[in-house]
Structure 1
């Protein structure tokens, strides 16, 4: 089980990721700092006397996939822990999550962007202000072909928003410069504001079809309840359907996991899932996560014009909430 924090002068070990609170407006003020939101895998680097280990936020070891990242960070002193994002850059110079999934052929495009240091030479830094942790990170990190520092912008909130929109980027991460690192928590000391409409959703079922299924049934958590949001068909070519089905078919469940089903009608946009339509559904344990792009939210917590992007095995289903 993941430890909540690191004690001073101990061997480095995995620390739960501090989470960003989704917001509809970027917080402003001198105490706030801004970074570009990168679309990739959240990776924690743990360096011990035994070597360098790359952990996903769900504590899966990813060294076999990204061995060159671990090798590029072997210079770190023992008992050091970094937090950051693993990102693949497309030909347009923007993060490309689909490219990241093809990690075997995309090695030259993949970079680890470090944005925090949680432990250094056995010293616990989680209670040290972010501004001090960043200063130490800058002095420790050695940029290379596969390692970079996630830069903090000196722009104002309005300037940062304009920059991200003009460059077609995903969004803005805001952090209080005096914030301590709060493992596993989403308190609002760190926030994320998405520009594009898209986020992760929990897969709670599917409708049968060729190549395994016709549509994925997805939702998000509100408190402890899983809320139905959409059926997703677009973006699923035959090869993708077969691949996704192989990864979710073992999750088959007897009961519907969504708290707000059945719905009374199809709704204005036809996204509702009534008792009659539910007869066609196959339910799954809510353990798989998919990244979905969409046009907008409706007033009934439904999505319009959805498109499947990718499965996200680095995300905890229980942490998936509505972000906009």
Structure 2
């Protein structure tokens, strides 16, 4: 059961989002997990991440749940771990060996059915076919499409502390990774992935992560992230990034002349404390807002992401 929480009204943001959602849209909750494509071919099921890594060994019970798919079938979906409060919990998903009973693959689209390419069919027809092939089980479910209005969906997401909604045109064809108006993500709570370009040392290996995002081919500094860690996660994060050490600062916009109003600016003097990394690791960061200088305020580390291509990490909000 999802647990509601109170919070400040945000009418302006809601009105902005509603203006950008088409009247022909369908709505799904934005799930915080791993995007996975499942391919059933040659009598076997293979799970592919967005970076085309095969994840069968990590999630064998998901493979078993999907073995009921027809031969020569491809579906798209999200692997999600639910926490004790009934909300998606990405940290729990990373501890996949101890969280098996909480992890479910939510299928939301089908690309190929029994060898037939479905990508040019409208979403409404693809959903009908998808529903006919998905057999819900402990680890497999169909991502639900809401019959609520956009306003009702936004209110529900905000009151339950969820990440956002995905709006999709019912008559839209399948266009993977393209922001063309056929589908659109709307985040309520600000959170996204950032590239790790350095850190400052600390008791458990690191004190703060130095993160940024790409603008064209340039990595741009955005924030130092210190909150959200406990000793165990500091040690875990440090173990995964320490081998990326380099002598060259990867951020194109450093050093900065001033620390700025909120103290997030990274000056030449502060850079002396930093250890630089090759931009090969990605972290999920929650934050309050963007500043006018494209920095983040009130950041919080959530988790490392190994399913994201660093070169595709851009500013999303």
Question: Do they superpose with TM above 0.5?
Answer: yes
- Once residues 19 and 238 of structure 2 are traced to their aligned partners in structure 1, the CA distance between those partners, rounded to angstroms, is 38
- Once residues 123 and 19 of structure 2 are traced to their aligned partners in structure 1, the CA distance between those partners, rounded to angstroms, is 18
Normalised to the residue count of structure 1, the TM-score between the two structures is: 0.89
Instruction: Verify the 8 A CA contact 2:18 2:150 in the aligned structure 1.
Output: no
Shift of 1:184: 4.0
The match for 1:15 is none
- Once residues 130 and 255 of structure 1 are traced to their aligned partners in structure 2, the CA distance between those partners, rounded to angstroms, is 47
Instruction: Report SS of the residue matched to 1:243.
Output: helix
Shift of 1:26: 6.5
The match for 2:5 is none
Normalised to the residue count of structure 2, the TM-score between the two structures is: 0.91
Structure 2, gaps ≥5 residues long: 1-15
The match for 1:42 is 35
The match for 1:156 is 149
Q: Does 1:209 align with 2:202?
A: yes
- Once residues 121 and 246 of structure 2 are traced to their aligned partners in structure 1, the CA distance between those partners, rounded to angstroms, is 45
Q: Does 1:128 align with 2:121?
A: yes
- Once residues 194 and 183 of structure 1 are traced to their aligned partners in structure 2, the CA distance between those partners, rounded to angstroms, is 19
- Once residues 43 and 62 of structure 2 are traced to their aligned partners in structure 1, the CA distance between those partners, rounded to angstroms, is 16
Q: Does 1:307 align with 2:310?
A: no
| Pairing partner for 1:240 from 233, 236, 242 | 233
Shift of 1:126: 1.7
Q: Does 1:269 align with 2:290?
A: no
Shift of 1:172: 0.7
Matched residues, number: 302
The structure 1 segments of at least 4 consecutive aligned residues displaced by more than 4 Å after TM superposition are: 23-26
- Once residues 252 and 74 of structure 1 are traced to their aligned partners in structure 2, the CA distance between those partners, rounded to angstroms, is 42
The match for 1:91 is 84
Instruction: Report SS of the residue matched to 1:174.
Output: strand
- Once residues 298 and 23 of structure 2 are traced to their aligned partners in structure 1, the CA distance between those partners, rounded to angstroms, is 39
The match for 1:177 is 170
Instruction: Verify the 8 A CA contact 1:27 1:174 in the aligned structure 2.
Output: no
- Measured against aligned partners, the alpha-carbon deviations of 1:109-135 in whole angstroms (never above 9, x if no partner) come to 111100000111111112222221111
Instruction: Verify the 8 A CA contact 1:82 1:119 in the aligned structure 2.
Output: yes
Higher relative contact order (CA 8 A, sep 6+): 1
Structure 1, gaps ≥5 residues long: 1-22
The match for 1:113 is 106
